[in-house]
Amino acid sequence: MGADDGTVYLWDFQSDKPRIELKGHDKSVDSVAYSFCGKWILSGSNGKAVRVWRFRTYKVYGWSNAAVVGGCSERITCLAWNPVVALEFVTGCRDGSVRVWRIASYDKDDGEDVSVQMLWGNNVGLLCAFDLTFKGAIGLSPINQKLLVQRGAIDDWSPSEGHEANGREVD
């Protein structure tokens, strides 16, 4: 849980009290994301930075700040780990920018070396995402140009061929 004082609190639900405090942000923490493997935490702040926290077995409380990622002109509003690609995450900022990042390298022996690289940002090209559900959709074509739809056989839908998203349900 993020707090106004720039701290991330990890709660012990049995005692209903914070067990671990991760300090480092200079402004309020507005978003927190826990990795699927359980060894990484992201925290985004009003201070325009994302902190990457890493669990280390040799630390007293286990967690340490592994990296700080910047680049937003306003506060970080949301964070999410990629559920498919390990160590890849996305950040959203109040300025409307979206960036995709990957923890590119780190010392697997609990060393201090962690490198984070940006894979995609607003200045790289167009990224479109819609909060839609397509009944029967099974994925995108290998070149991500067509939506594949299961109809007994696989049909496709392509905006480049003049098809329009008209809100109809695809069977």
What is the rounded distance in angstroms from the CA atom of residue 91 to the CA atom of residue 97?
A: 8
Under 8 Å between Cβ of 91 and 76: yes
Nearest to 78 by CA among 114, 45, 41: 45
End-to-end Cα spacing for the chain: 41
- 94 or 105, which is more confident: 94
Show the tokens assigned to 104: 């590119």
Show the tokens assigned to 158: 């392509």
Residues 83-106: b if buried by 16+ CB within 10 A, e if exposed? eeeebbbbbbbeeeeebbbbbeeb
| Residue count (the chain) | 171
Q: Which pLDDT does position 1 carry in this prediction?
A: 64
Q: Could you report the per-residue pLDDT of 99-156, keeping only the tens digit for each?
A: 888 887 766 555 556 677 666 665 555 444 444 444 444 444 444 444 444 444 444 4
Q: Could you report the per-residue pLDDT of 1-12, keeping only the tens digit for each?
A: 665 676 777 777
Question: pTM to 2 decimals?
Answer: 0.63
Domains along the sequence of the chain with CATH: 7-120 (2.130.10.10), 130-171 (no CATH)
